[in-house]
């Protein structure tokens, strides 16, 4: 694997290998001494054009536990305003002999563009409203652990996964849909019509505006953050109305199967898309997602940098 840019680039075997190695990394995470030498001498640069404490720390810890040298470059504030083009920024850092870039950018496609300008490996840590493949992988990892804990088959084929919220602006949903297209999960997207992406009918997933209709059958309910500024954009009238129609309220929680998992990529807006009852429910896997994030990112870095094909 040279880069991880899109969940669509991963075969079923790739995903299985990534998730299996992540399990071993999870074991490392539970050790008293969280250090393995697999990436000793490798340099990983986390370059974040958009703030994200969670994702950045997760990648940083992942690199450090594998003994890579990890460096954070905060590039917030568009390089346009500084007069430097994205191409120059990337080529400059690449010239220092970096082995891998982990890139977060607020513009869709910017990470793929950057990959075309550098010799190093590139991991997409979220680009605009496009993709966030490591999030989809950690979601899949969390789901698989949940299926095992719930003593149901740990395959995705036929599992019903509802993804609810601001789908229009979400990179998480695009990567999850692409990953589940390969894994065989049955995805239903739930959102008000104003927050449905254009052309979603071509995505090969079910869609509905009626959250209640999917509750009884769902094996996984993934709630996406809805940003308050979407209200001023006229996407919905008020947070109260949004919570009433599309929030995972205590009432809706009661209609879920006991074995259904609740996921949220965070940060959560309690009281808007998710109630505290749901966020803190026994079936909530939100913190498992965070912990899986490090293991999955270790696995991704190992797959990119661990072997000869990677050098």
Partner 1 sequence: MSLLISGVRLADGTVTDVAVHEGLIVPVSDLPADAERVDGDGLLALPGLVDLHTHLREPGREDAETVASGTRAAARGGFTAVFAMPNLTPATDTGEAVAYLNELAARDAHCEVVPIGAVTKGRDGTELAELGMMAAQGVTVFSDDGACIHDSLIMRRALTYLKPFGGVVAQHAQDPRLAGPSACCHESEISGRLGLPGWPTVAESTIIARDVQLAEFTGGRYHACHISTAESVEVIRWAKKRGIDVTAEVTPHHLLLDTPHVEGYDTTFKVNPPLRTSEHIEALREALADGTIDVVGTDHAPHARQDKDHPFDVASPGMLGLEQALGVVIDVMVNTGRMDWATLVERMSAAPARIGRLPHQGRQIAVGEPANLVLVDPTRRATVDRAASASRSRNNPYHGIDLPDPVELTLWRGAVTYRR
Partner 2 sequence: MSAGSDSRVIWDSDDISRALNRIALHILESNKGSDGLLLLGIRTRGVPLAHRLGAAIEAAEGAAVPVGELDITMYRDDLRRQPTRAVGPTRIPVSVDGRTVVLVDDVLFSGRTIAAAMEALKDLGRPTAIRLAALIDRGHRELPIQADFVGKDLPTGPAQHVRVLLSEIDGEDQVSVRTEKEA
Indicate the annotated binding residues for carbamoyl phosphate.
54-55, 104, 132, 135, 266-267
By beta-carbon proximity to partner 2, the closer residue of 31 and 255 is: 31
- Residue among 150, 186, 290, 310 that touches partner 2 (CB under 8 A): 310
Distance CA 311, CA 309 (A): 6
Out of 63, 165, 197, 265, point to the residue binding partner 1 (CB under 8 A).
197
Considering only CA atoms, which of 79, 73, 41 is closest in space to residue 60? 73
Does 128 bind partner 1 (CB under 8 A)? Our answer is: yes
Smallest gap from Cβ 16 to partner 2, in A, equals 10
For partner 2, the closer of residues 31 and 76 by Cβ is 31
Q: Does 198 bind partner 1 (CB under 8 A)?
A: yes
Q: Yes or no: say if 62 and 297 are a contact pair by the CB < 8 Å rule.
A: yes
Shortest Å, Cβ 194 to partner 2 = 44
- Residues 162, 222: contact at Cβ < 8 Å? yes
Question: Within positions 51 to 110, which residues make up the interface with partner 1, using CB under 8 A?
Answer: 78-80, 85-88, 105, 107-110
Contact between 1 and partner 2 per CB under 8 A: yes
Given partner 1, partner 2, none, residue 309, with its beta carbon under 5 to 8 Å by kind, binds: partner 2
Q: Which of 126, 128, 110, 129 is nearest to 118 (CA)?
A: 110
> Quick one: tokens of 46?
């986390």
C-beta separation of 85 from 79 below 8 A: yes
CB 302 within 8 A of CB 38: yes
Q: Which of the stretches 48-56, 152-160, 289-297, 301-309 binds partner 2 when contact is defined by CB under 8 A? A: 301-309
Task: Select from 109, 158, 233, 307 the one that contacts partner 2 (CB under 8 A).
Answer: 307
* 274 φ/ψ angles, rounded to the nearest 5 degrees: -145, 135
Residue 222 vs 286, nearer CB to partner 1: 222
Contact 46, 100 (CB under 8 A): no
How many residues touch partner 2 under the rule CB under 8 A: the total is 23
Residue 270: closest CA among 259, 261, 281: 281
d(CA 62, CA 83): 33
Q: Which stretch binds partner 2 (CB under 8 A): 32-40, 47-55, 147-155, 199-207?
A: 32-40
A 10 A CB-CB count for 97 gives 9
- Cα gap 71→51, rounded to integer Å: 15
User: Which residues contribute to the site for partner 2 (CB under 8 A)?
Assistant: 1, 17, 20-21, 23-24, 27, 31-33, 35-38, 66, 302-303, 306-311
User: Which residues contribute to the site for partner 1 (CB under 8 A)?
Assistant: 78-80, 85-88, 105, 107-110, 112-113, 127-131, 171, 174, 197-200, 202-203
């Amino acid at each position: 694997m040279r880069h991880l840019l899109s969940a669509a680039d991963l075969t079923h075997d790739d995903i299985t290998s990534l998730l299996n190695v992540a399990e071993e990394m999870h074991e490392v995470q539970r050790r008293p001494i969280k250090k393995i030498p697999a990436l000793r001498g490798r340099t990983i640069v986390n370059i974040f054009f958009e703030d994200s404490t969670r994702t950045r720390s997760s990648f940083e810890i992942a690199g450090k536990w594998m003994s890579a040298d990890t460096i954070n470059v905060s590039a917030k504030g568009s390089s346009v305003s500084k007069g430097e083009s994205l191409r120059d920024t990337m080529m400059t850092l690449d010239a220092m002999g970096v082995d891998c870039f982990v890139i977060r950018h607020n513009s869709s496609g910017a990470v793929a563009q950057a990959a075309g300008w550098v010799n190093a490996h590139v991991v997409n840590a979220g680009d605009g409203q496009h993709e966030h493949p490591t999030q989809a992988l950690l979601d899949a990892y969390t789901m698989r652990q949940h299926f095992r804990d719930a003593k149901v088959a740990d395959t995705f084929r036929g599992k019903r996964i509802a993804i609810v919220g601001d789908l229009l602006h979400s990179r998480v949903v695009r990567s999850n849909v692409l990953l589940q297209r390969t894994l065989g999960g049955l995805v239903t997207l739930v959102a008000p019509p104003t927050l449905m992406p254009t052309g979603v009918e071509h995505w090969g997933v079910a869609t509905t505006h009626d959250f209640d209709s999917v509750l009884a059958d769902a094996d996984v309910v993934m709630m996406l953050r809805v940003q308050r500024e979407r209200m001023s954009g006229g996407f919905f009238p008020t947070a109260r109305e949004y919570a009433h129609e599309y929030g995972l309220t205590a009432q809706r929680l009661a209609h879920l199967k006991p074995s259904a998992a609740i996921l949220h990529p965070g940060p959560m807006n309690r009281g808007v898309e998710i109630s505290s009852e749901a966020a803190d429910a026994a079936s909530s896997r939100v913190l498992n997602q965070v912990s899986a994030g490090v293991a999955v990112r270790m696995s991704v870095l190992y797959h990119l940098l661990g072997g000869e094909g990677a050098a």
